[in-house]
Amino acid sequence: MAYTTIDDPSVYFQTKLYTGTSSDHAVTLDADTDMAPNLVWIKDRDYGNYHVLFDTVRGVENSLIPSETLAEANQHATGYLSVFGSDGFTVIAGSTNPNNVNTDAHKYVAWNWKAGTTSGLTTNASTDITPSAYSFNQTAGFSTLAYTGNQTSGAKLAHGLGVKPDMIITKSRAGASGWGVYHKSLGATYGMLLNTTAAKDDDATAWNDVEPDTVNITLGSSINTNKTGTCVAYAFVEKQGYSKFGIYTGNGNADGPFVFLGFKPAWLLRKRTDSTASTWLIHDSKRGFNSNAVRLRADLNNAEDSGNQVDLLSNGFKIRETGGYGNASGSPYIYMAFAEESLVTSTGVPATASRTGASE
């Protein structure tokens, strides 16, 4: 069996840095790959403006804000996105709120995921909720699902991935709610919220204490996962050499834990699970790594800063901080990571030497 089926991770995930112009302009991803993004997450690096999420399933003009409980907003002609292209997206110059994606001379980061299949989603006799629209990719292990929540415990939502999801993020589009998070390392007994610093919560209303399966995600009655009305879910499956979802334990010193991924990380999200003394930390290899590492935080709209150091290595990541945000002694931290380059190709050839750091 091949080590990985994804020789070029940039086909399915890319980080793009760009500078705002306050006028309409196309943001083009890596020209060497056919990367038509289905999910785009944008953040102003310079100022405390909102994170904003767009996806092809909900429609290019509809934004959600990961740090907030706000309902979806239609941003037509107000300074957001106008087009998902075959190799990127277009930001526009509008009359309202352009700061989030396109203020002149501001530096932005856009994280982009590709799904792509919009028909043939599998259901079974247990499925209660068939998504009204969706885009999934079983090779990359990613699906975006638009669905109508019913706030009924035990409702089963088809996800299209063909195997059990390892991480799920949900949000009500129609009304105020938190961003529900399922992570395989915590299991369905616990829920977390992407928009807060809250610790894991033993809450049966999140995932009904039932693990997702190869066809369906089991939802509870919580408004954060299954609020009555239109909702969205992003589901992910770990793929060797491309993505990994796991947990590490902090040791409280600068020689922090090393986490083996089996690839050079392009993007890393992590959160302490036993305390509110941590935010959802985001690092990527384009904005800075190792001694130049910088952070953004999914639950806060703060500008980028240089706290919470982590080394992004050729085969994983190494924690270098000493604080409770990312390395409290004895505390668990969940993470999700996507690859810049796998250790070994599908034909068994070792990947090229690291551009982001040395192996541990």
Residue 161 has pLDDT above 90, yes or no: yes
**Residue 355, pLDDT above cutoff 50:** no
Return the minimum-mean-pLDDT range out of 91-95, 129-133, 163-167.
Answer: 91-95
**116 C-beta neighbours (distance < 10 Å), count:** 15
Of the two residues 321 and 77, the one the predictor is more confident about is 321
Residue type, 196: T
pLDDT for residue 358: 38
pLDDT, average across residues 207-212: 98
* pLDDT over 80 at 291, yes or no: no
* DSSP category for residue 83: E
Nearest to 173 by CA among 205, 145, 215, 140: 145
Residue type, 360: E
Q: What is the three-state SS of 106-167?
A: CEEEEEEECCCECCCCCCCCCCCECCCEEEEECCCCEEEEEEEECCCCCEEEECCCCCCCCE
- Residue-wise pLDDT for 88-123, tens only, equals 999 987 655 567 899 889 999 999 999 999 999 999
The pLDDT of residue 340: 95
Q: For residues 203 and 186, is the Cβ–Cβ distance under 8 A?
A: no
> Rounded to an integer, what is the distance from CA 346 to the centroid of its chain?
25
Say yes or no to pLDDT of 56 above 50. Answer: yes
pLDDT single digits (tens) 246-280: 999 999 998 999 999 999 999 999 999 999 989 99
- Does position 178 have pLDDT exceeding 80, yes or no? yes
Q: How far apart are the C-alpha atoms of 331 and 336, rounded to whole Å?
A: 17
- The Cα–Cα gap between 207 and 182 comes to 8
Tell me the C-alpha distance between 200 and 198, whole Å: 7
The C-alpha angle 137, 139, 140, rounded to 5 degrees, equals 70
226 has pLDDT over 90: yes
Distance CA 315, CA 312 (A): 8
Could you tell me what percent of the chain has a pLDDT over 70? 92
The per-residue DSSP string of 233-256 comes to EEEE---TTTEEEEEEE--SSSS-
Instruction: Report which of residues 263 and 75 the model is more confident about.
Output: 263
pTM: 0.95
What CA–CA distance (Å, rounded) separates 208 from 283? 32
Identity at 113, one-letter amino acid code? W
> Coil, strand or helix: which one is 265?
strand
pLDDT bin (cut points 50, 70, 90) of residue 330 is: very high
* Region 34-62 average pLDDT: 94
pLDDT at 349 over 90: no
Mean pLDDT score of the chain: 91
